[in-house]
Amino acid sequence: MSAERAELRERALAAISAAREPSELARVEREFLGKDGALGKLLGSIRDVPPAERKAFGEGANELKRALEAALAERRAVLERERLAAERTDEHFDATLPARALAHGSLHPLTHVVRRLEQIFSSMGYAILDGPEVELDAYNFEKLNIPHDHPAREMHDTFWCDREQRLLMRTHTSPVQIRALEKMPPPFRAIVPGRCFRNETTDASHEHTFHQMEGLVVGEGITVGHLIGTMKTFLREVFQQELEVRLRPGYFPFVEPGFELDVRCPFCAQGCSVCKRSTWIELCPCGMVHPAVLKAGGIDSQRYTGFAFGLGLSRLVMLRYGIDDIRHLMGADVRFLEQF
């Protein structure tokens, strides 16, 4: 019997190491270890073994089974290694190719500009404030000296959230002026970068959602001179050159006097497409805080004065990076954003 087992072992091991394909190996496995395989037949012959030798016979058969299983596993691993090696030398595989670069995110141009402005104004002692985007009519209009029936409301095409509750999407960052006056005792300086919303038709220079940066300075003896000095300082920092500014009269119910501040075009001397050939660029509305606004914020308007400005941030970003259509800023086109 043991000679028969030895012969089976030899035959099976030879067949296993001769197998060149996993399918061939599977066939060898069936031939020797399968249900009707050679080893099964050998075990079936235990009936012909004298009872005294049956135990040894069974142990021998089991040992052979384990040996064949181990040889099969080893051969299977060898075939798998050979398959991988063959794949690696395949003509399409170039081990010298550099790995694909990871895609890095980039900051939005608005974020770049806001961060720079925050640095500049903080270095001048300004606090950076925030305010709600869903605002009360009282803060967006009433307390800013724009009562219910005031025609200036028509310039702010408003998205109403709830007309009964007088809740709206803020149309400018100026409501934070009142919130600051209510909370901060003068003297103080603050800027408020943030999103604003207007229900207007969009074009290359108008968006329904855009960014402004409010500025507010309140103290004793604040004058238009402080306003001009501040604007010139911040423009010098942003454009890295000394730029002339000019004030034209402008009307906003919450400032008196009110101005439009223009800046000399930083890109040309004789006129270009950015300044529409005028050499001046309209930068931001501003003015001296109206006494009615100071009063609405609980401030003594006899003692304190202040100036305020409302910088169109989206437009400053366009100017800074030479972007010709404001809709790129909120368009979420990655090809555009990746440039910054």
Q: Which is nearer to ligand FA5, 19 or 316 (CB)?
A: 316
Q: Per CB under 6 A, does 304 bind ligand FA5?
A: no
- The pair of structure tokens assigned to 228 is 């001009």
Question: In sequence order, which residues have a C-beta less than 8 Å from that of residue 160 and are 6 or more positions away?
Answer: 167, 168
Q: Which of 9, 75, 172, 179 binds ligand FA5 (CB under 6 A)?
A: 172
In this chain, which of 207, 222, 230, 263 binds ligand FA5, going by CB under 6 A?
207
Q: Which is nearer to ligand FA5, 206 or 276 (CB)?
A: 206
Residues 220/188, Cβ–Cβ less than 8 Å: no
**Is residue 212 a contact residue for ligand FA5 (CB under 6 A)?**
yes
Is residue 139 at the binding interface for ligand FA5, with CB under 6 A as the rule? no
Cα separation, 311 vs 299, in Å, equals 24
| Residue among 191, 263, 286, 323 that touches ligand FA5 (CB under 6 A) | 286
| Shortest distance, position 157 Cβ to ligand FA5, whole Å | 9
Q: List, in order, residues 6 or more apart from 14 with CB less than 8 Å away.
A: none
When asked if residue 230 is in the footprint of ligand FA5 (CB under 6 A), the reply is: no
Contact status, residue 280 vs residue 172, Cβ threshold 8 Å:
no
What distance in Å separates the CA atoms of residue 314 and residue 195, rounded to the nearest whole number? Answer: 10
Backbone angles phi, psi at 266, to 5 degrees: -75, -5
Which positions from 176 through 205 interact with ligand FA5, judged by CB under 6 A?
Answer: 198, 200
Out of 158, 174, 230, 305, the residue judged to bind ligand FA5 by CB under 6 A: 174
Residue 255 and residue 152: Cα distance in Å, rounded? Answer: 13
CB of 241 to ligand FA5, least distance (A): 21
Considering the rule CB under 6 A, would residue 169 count as an interface residue with ligand FA5? no
Residue 284 interacting with ligand FA5 (CB under 6 A): yes
C-alpha 71/C-alpha 132 separation (Å) is: 74
315 sits near ligand FA5 (criterion: CB under 6 A)? yes
Taking CB under 6 A as the criterion, the residue among 312, 319, 323, 329 binding ligand FA5 is 312
Contact 176, 214 (CB under 8 A): yes
* Nearer Cβ to ligand FA5 (15/144): 144
Q: Which is nearer to ligand FA5, 32 or 126 (CB)?
A: 126
How many CB atoms lie under 10 A from the CB of residue 59?
10
**DSSP string computed for 76-117:** HHHHHHHHHHHHHTSTT--TTSPPPPPPPP---HHHHHHHHH
Give the nearer residue to ligand FA5 in terms of CB position, either 238 or 286.
286
To which residue do tokens 């366009």 refer?
A: 318
Least CB distance to ligand FA5 at residue 277 (A): 20
Residue ranges in contact with ligand FA5 by CB under 6 A: 172, 174, 198, 200, 206-207, 210, 212, 214, 252, 255, 258, 284-287, 308-310, 312, 314-315, 326
